[in-house]
A and B are shown apart, each in its own frame.
Chain A
Amino acid sequence: MSTWPATSAPSGVPPSTGYAASYSAPAYTSVHVRQSFGQSFSTPQPSYPAYGPTQTSSPSAANIPPTVNPAPPTAQEQSKTKIDWPDSVRRYVQRAFIPANLDASVTRSDMETKLKETITQANENGVMYTLDWDTMPLPQHMIREERARSLLPLHSRPQVQPPANAPGTTKKRKSWDQADAAASASASPTPPWRTGPTRLEDRVSFPSDRHQAGAEQPSKNTSKLNRADKRQKRNEGEYTTLREDTPPPAEGPVIGTCQDLEKRYLRLTAAPKPSQVRPPHILRQTLELLKKRWKKDQNYSYICDQFKSMRQDLTVQRIRDDFTVEVYEIHARIALEKGDLGEYNQCQTQLKALYKLGLKGKPNEFKAYRILYFIHTANRTELSNALADLTPAEKKDKAIKHALDVRSALALGNYHRFFQLYNETPNMGAYLMDMFVLRERLAALCNICKAYKQDVQLRFVTEELYFESDIEAAQFILDNGGQDLLEDRNGTIIFLTAKAGSRFDARRATAFSRVDIKGQI
């Protein structure tokens, strides 16, 4: 890859990079075949009549792949004989790849595309030998400039955008050109007689070929392929939320220009417009505003909506810093407070990843919540994973240790210890514990009923299960079908455990049955 500029750049057909190779390799993307229809017909091997409608009518023909033949070597050779690249061009290419000139925000494949395009254009216009290549702006600079230009309110597309590129980039999701129509058609449930393996994928990939014929553009292929796979996966029930494919990396992160503090949340269905995205300094003001509004109004639906749009703005601009952490933490806490576990869960997942990047925040607080959350959802596998992720130092942290103790108390059925811990929960963990304290009370009650004969004082239940008062404890027993189990004996209320038998067991089982939360992990 690093030797690329010197040897093969002038050919105008960049060889595949590491990533390109992984996706351009499949036979059905072979550029070679598309360029020479005649050849593929003349070969004695099974021929593939056309890429058009026939493929749908004859499944077997549609599946026959074009021959596997790596295009680059031949293409390279052809062009070598045709064009003698002037030294100035070679120097230009070399200059572009000097480490000092590299720009981190421009990916290599972007640069290569740009280079190729610039040189090809010069060649076609016949100015290749006359152009002053030494003063020509480098591709990375051109790309940066284009990006900056696209931020202008007019949103004028840079004219130098390669034509082959256009359909693939911006219109990715909403374009109704043939390719996507075909793709979406094949995504619809296939009739049983054509559910052959890989058929879906093959068909999705063929149309993309058509577009790629002229220009090799690996990144596009990547997302196509992934999309087909993802769709397949989604059908298999793996994806719980609809996830859209990634646009090709040719588009850098959006840089927002929106100056409004508030913005309603809308799920993105197309690439975001910079004019509708708020840059970080605006978002900081937004956060301050939202904090104030939350204190004042406590309007959760408004706050949640605003936070979601903030998160969206951060994501599309790929901002992952301490501020991002703060936004997610605050949203997570508010969601917790309001018992919105779905939203909380999303934040939690993000936070886990953000902490991994080494950003500042309150990782221990949220790791503790995470453990409590998995106790609530009774997700043993994830709980195990969460435990495996803890370092010895973290295990000593007050909040995490508390969560771990809660877990072990429950694992051993030590309700006495559990309710003590419930009483001393740090941070906002109690909101999470509230979610499962009911079922644990039922479990403990079952325990007590089976183990204690003949009866116990209600006071004992109140204290063991950590009710606020005897009245609350009595109410709990009454609510769960224990009307006849309480007795007044000389002024003390007695709970008739022996009489209860296993009456609470059914309620306990119901309470422990699956917890269902939107977007649960």
Chain B
Amino acid sequence: MKSSQYVHFFFSNEPLFFLEDLMTRQGGLLWVDKYRPKTLETLDIHPEWTEKLASLCEQGTLPHLLFYGPSGVGKRTRIYALLRQVFGIAIEKRQVEHRFLKVGEPPKEVELTTITSAHHIELCPADVGYNDRLVIQEIVKEIASSKPIELGNVHRGYKVVVLHDIDEVSKQAQQALRRTMEKYTSCCRIIMSAESVTRVMEPIRSRCLGIRIPCPKKEEIEQVLQKIAKKEGLVLPDCYANQLVTQSKGNLRKAILLLQVGRAIAYPFSQQQQKKNEEEEESWISSQETGWDWERLCYDIANIVIREQNPKQLCNIRNKLYELFCHAIPGDMIFRKITLHLLRMMDEEVAPQVCHWAAHYEYGMKRGSKEIFHLEAFLAKVMYIYYSHIHTQYSMAWMDD
């Protein structure tokens, strides 16, 4: 009784968002959203894929696809562009739904957010956590059970299920997906996105066409930035653009976001020519002016380890870690940032060890549940390694295990 109320509630919603609405409201959007390419032709980076994807759409049979590559290279943007290519403008009529699904035996209620249009449904199964397997089965079955809608001239024999972050879902869910993919091939296609394809199991990989999206080249990012600057009527000095490119480390989204933050905080951009060597870059990164706040906190932690090695500083570090923890910054990201920063600052001799222990403790963190413990243990270890490295001429620290 309880759930039926809600179901009624959701489905009585009219589509919240129409095309004209989209047009009028674009002014306030962030640049990264405002200038997001909508079609395959307007995609700025990786032109080599554009043509291939277009040809895939032309043929009657679109295979299952898996887009993979690091964060911020445009996987989702590309998926949208592809859908647009397949289904035309109708795909822009999207609706965000927050749904409660009854899944499994005995029925459990799970909540998840989906984005739907007449031709596709988009969800992130990892959001529902433990029940991801059931959700995938349910959604795909649901989609497959209804016939694809024929809208005017657009007619394809299938609908599309977009599953984001497929690498985050559980093994069982992936198991479940493999047969589902085969079973419903005739009426639906599955498009997935993943950051790390290693975590996608082999049977799934072998059932779909993998599309690797590498980080854009530096020049490509710079071009995109300049293009946006031009449209916004900004003066973007080359050196500043360069800095943004270096700092974004191949993440296009970050580069554009940073550009806009720079515009909001310090416009006109400084013309100063930064030296390009490594050290200068360090000082620029660790200065308080740029980068996200959580990144700066990570750098702080690494700096403490380098500066001083004692329990009191470890306490200090723990407080900072808790701050990151409270804001739900994922542990592996903290590990990455801290490790990279440590490697940059430390002597080359200890670097392999730091790498080893970073991997070791991060592995522990993945198997455990309290991220803080593992991070703290790692930082204590690094403190110890670094301490013995500084205080002994010929380091035998590697022998201590």
Asked whether A and B interact, the reply is: no
**Which residues from chain A sit less than 8 Å from chain B, CB to CB?**
none
